[in-house]
Structure 1
């Protein structure tokens, strides 16, 4: 039986690897409007203005782009240890570490595809310095006066060789709830969206057409309004940020979106899903067929080919060069 919803409180932060650390930092600060809140050698930590913890994003210099760690805060110390027991009782393994500033002990494990997850409870709340203090005391930091000004880290879309195995890890071990999925005509699950909370989704698994393990499709930041996404598109063309696709509206989850590449090569989504909440405790899993997905987005241009093929790090080999599924946002 799946554990009750709520042991995982929310996404804490995500780590990206980048071969061009300075350019990636400039992208996230100047274009998206994040604030640098710590540097340690080849690692820079940044935060969105509405994040109550110290950082939302960790950038680390590496030769190739890709995903490092997804950190998940639990709802209590007891919830943390329940999830650790569940991981180990399911045959998984992990290690305890204290390598993140502002956080207590983290239990580091991986999903079946090899994506690193870190679970933790203890966390210091951010206190803005005088120059970043907001006028409203219920907001951690003043809104930035630069770039898009994204509000928070919204979700992570993992590429996976086996979507169902990874989704079931999230459901049975971490307590996520599935909200939507794509089932191909042959019965295979090509993508599944899951939530830890009442948001419509926090993590997504999308089938990796190359058959590779441990790759990233994209990370996403939420904006206040759809107009922020339109402004982001204008800022992108003014500043040389590469737009892959959008603005459009997804049929799945109804997200209004823009996809861009940061200088290191990782795909970043700007999204506005803030009006959709899964409040029903018995929300039915919505299944989209292969024919329905072939219709494309809810509206907007046809899905660009790179959306189905680009992932980080780049795949060493394409096993057969033929797409085997339907990637999704």
Structure 2
């Protein structure tokens, strides 16, 4: 079902990650994920994926605990931004405008029903490569790095939520995202739901937090060009002593080829390749998966490991 306001949001712009070891997290993204450091400000380090047209992809911010900071969503036009801001304010979830974020114009700060911090914006500063990083092909943002995981762009993120249905109502009714797939328990409760704000199969996911906590992160995902990039990345992470949690393998839901690792700060990071699967149907009907279907494991039979259901950031002990 296509919601009112669909396409008012263009794409997932950038994400802020909290970490107690910001320099080590920075090295993970730069040395192993093949991003480039582009800016430092206060206790934050900004890094850029090689084909991201915007000024930065990840903002790494030092904090006592790992977790998700603010997630930035770009609107498709100034008018579209005004419509989504009005809807957020009507829902009582707005926190006002700011104009201090590196690489962005005015940003409307808000939060979802679970407390995750969001920033809605339209004006943005495009990435300009240095001569050293100027690409041979003028239709890509930067030179192909040819090292590490070679992640091309930010793909999606998965929020943990105490109340998935409430968060889903916010995504659908307030931000204008459409649900593409979901998991429903035997009791009829939505345990996880995948939302798209574009032609991609998904941009934002909400998964039930097994601890009932609010505002936590399950994972942030970055796209590679090929499955082979992910297979090589597994060896890169192995040699660097990075914890490989699960994969490489293929999800049943959304059919994404995946690898999950924990960056040095403890946040779960996914490398993914969704191939050519797009949601082109304007009247797409949400696919529902049952508990029994999910119990079968991933697409090729790999069982979901326990930590995938128990680890989130910040860690709660």
TM-score (norm 2): 0.98
> Where does 1:56-71 land on structure 2 (aligned, <5 Å)?
56-71=57-72
In 2, are the aligned partners of 1:17 and 1:62 still within 8 Å (CA)? yes
> Where does 1:224-303 land on structure 2 (aligned, <5 Å)?
224-303=225-304
In 1, are the aligned partners of 2:192 and 2:206 still within 8 Å (CA)? yes
Equivalent position of 2:80 in the other structure: 79
How big is the shift at 1:236?
1.2
CA distance in 1, matches of 2:246, 2:103: 36
How big is the shift at 1:102?
1.8
> Where does 1:1-329 land on structure 2 (aligned, <5 Å)?
2-316=3-317
TM-score (norm 1): 0.94
- Structure 2: 5+ residue stretches without partners: none
Q: Which runs of 4+ in 1 moved over 6 A?
A: none
SS at match of 1:150: coil
How big is the shift at 1:100?
1.0
Question: C-alpha root-mean-square deviation of aligned residues, in Å?
Answer: 1.0
How big is the shift at 1:124?
1.5
- Structure 1: 5+ residue stretches without partners: 317-329
How many residue pairs get matched?
316
How big is the shift at 1:91?
3.0
How big is the shift at 1:101?
1.5
In 2, are the aligned partners of 1:247 and 1:300 still within 8 Å (CA)? no
SS at match of 2:73: strand
In 2, are the aligned partners of 1:222 and 1:274 still within 8 Å (CA)? no
How big is the shift at 1:301?
2.7
CA distance in 2, matches of 1:109, 1:291: 37
Q: 1:178 to 1:70 in 2, by over 3 A?
A: same
In 1, are the aligned partners of 2:5 and 2:175 still within 8 Å (CA)? no
Deviations, residues 112-143 of structure 1 (Å, cap 9, x unaligned):
00000100011111111100000000001001
SS at match of 1:94: strand
How big is the shift at 1:300?
4.9
In 2, are the aligned partners of 1:47 and 1:54 still within 8 Å (CA)? yes
Deviates more, 1:133-142 or 1:233-242: 233-242
Q: 1:9 to 1:191 in 2, by over 3 A?
A: same
How big is the shift at 1:4?
3.1
Deviations, residues 77-132 of structure 1 (Å, cap 9, x unaligned):
11111001111122332210012112110000000000001000111111111000
CA distance in 1, matches of 2:83, 2:273: 33
